[in-house]
């Protein structure tokens, strides 16, 4: 199928399916708004799964669509154009699934990929801890092999969507005597068990999409380890590379929608003809094009290769840009932006949520260290 035909297929499907009860989902969900319409968005995920849109870029041998990067970009573009809601299955689809394809066993792929593709199992990411955020190798959650199971004890924090997740991929310390990068393992842990407790974290926006997750002698089967014991750092950094892969295009299309809202606010307020405001809005648009072209350039890595420092460069590009967009939104809205009613407006929510952009997903300081270490060779490895 040509790219043009593929675009028409995606557009037609969205036009005929994002209707009826699903029409109410247009523009909902996503960062800062993950609390919206969870039951209906869950049903929408299964609608996508039934049509084969989940796992579009996975190899066909692994149950995916085998779509080219160009076709994946087209899907994101059309999904954003149609106002598709924020995705609930993205952690499984774009983080865990590529990790299992790259590092997992055939049995793990057969067990976990089909439920991700069908949106019958959702995932969360168990990386950050109170004393191990950007310094991920400092995690203290412990896992001990006990016969045919692993027993996990510890705490994770800032765990997105843990309150709706069925499974969590957990970075845990399995060899406390080894150097910190070498004593880690990557475990797949079921959430619905007595040893797992999820506590939502109320954010500045008043919503709770992040969580604390406590593991108190939680268990998972011995075979639910990706890679070998002690190989968790390699697998976990592989997942982080996938996190900043093709899925970033969907993120950027969300940014474009936010920028459109800012431009609409400027027009409604009559400031869009002011040359100072026009310059600031134009700068924001140019920055968004830089993000897009950087992402497209770095997606051209040969199949099977993991992105390198490009992922860290991308984080340094989009996080400050998004924060500045939130600040621009508030400035364009004027004094009224400082007033709230029963709920925050979209602009207020954008401003508040973007305060965390330069921290989560690896702080900007850590990203600079990664670039210095891997590209410039100026930081000794731990």
Enumerate the active-site residues.
243
Distance in angstroms (rounded) separating the CA atoms of residues 324 and 342 = 26
Distance in angstroms (rounded) separating the CA atoms of residues 378 and 169 = 32
* Helix pair 346-353, 247-268: axis angle to 10 deg: 130
């Amino acid at each position: 199928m040509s790219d043009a035909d593929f675009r028409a297929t995606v557009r037609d499907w969205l036009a005929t399916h994002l209707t009826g009860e699903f029409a109410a989902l247009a523009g909902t969900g996503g960062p800062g708004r993950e609390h919206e319409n969870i039951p209906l968005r869950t049903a929408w995920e299964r609608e996508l799964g039934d049509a084969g849109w989940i796992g579009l870029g996975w190899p066909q041998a692994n149950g995916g669509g085998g779509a080219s990067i160009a076709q994946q970009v087209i899907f994101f573009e059309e999904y954003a154009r149609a106002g598709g809601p924020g995705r609930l299955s993205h952690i499984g689809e774009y983080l865990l699934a590529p990790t299992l394809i790259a590092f997992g066993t055939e049995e793990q792929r057969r067990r976990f990929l089909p439920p991700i593709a069908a949106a019958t199992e959702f995932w969360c990411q168990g990386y950050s801890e109170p004393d191990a955020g950007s310094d991920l190798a400092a995690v203290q959650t412990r896992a001990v092999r006990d016969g045919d199971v692993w027993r996990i004890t510890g705490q994770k924090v800032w765990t997105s969507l843990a309150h709706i997740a069925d499974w969590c991929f957990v970075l845990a310390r399995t060899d406390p005597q080894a150097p910190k990068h070498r004593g880690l393992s990557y475990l797949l842990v079921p959430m619905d068990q007595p040893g797992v407790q999820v506590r939502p974290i109320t954010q500045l926006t008043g919503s709770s999409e992040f969580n604390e997750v406590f593991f108190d002698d939680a268990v998972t089967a011995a075979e639910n380890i990706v890679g070998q014991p002690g190989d968790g750092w390699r697998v976990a950094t592989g997942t982080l590379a996938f996190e900043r892969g093709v899925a970033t295009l969907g993120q950027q299309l969300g940014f474009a929608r936010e920028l459109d809202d800012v431009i609409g606010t400027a027009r409604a307020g009559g400031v869009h003809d002011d040359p100072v405001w026009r310059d600031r809005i134009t700068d924001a648009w140019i920055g968004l094009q830089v993000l897009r072209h950087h992402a497209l350039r770095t997606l051209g890595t040969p199949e099977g290769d993991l992105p390198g420092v490009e992922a860290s460069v991308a984080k340094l590009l989009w996080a400050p840009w998004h924060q500045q967009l939130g600040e621009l939104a508030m400035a364009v809205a004027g004094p009224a932006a400082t007033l709230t009613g029963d709920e925050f407006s979209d602009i207020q929510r954008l401003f508040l949520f973007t305060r965390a952009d330069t921290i989560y997903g690896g702080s900007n300081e850590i990203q600079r260290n990664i670039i210095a270490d891997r590209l410039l060779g100026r930081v000794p490895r731990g």
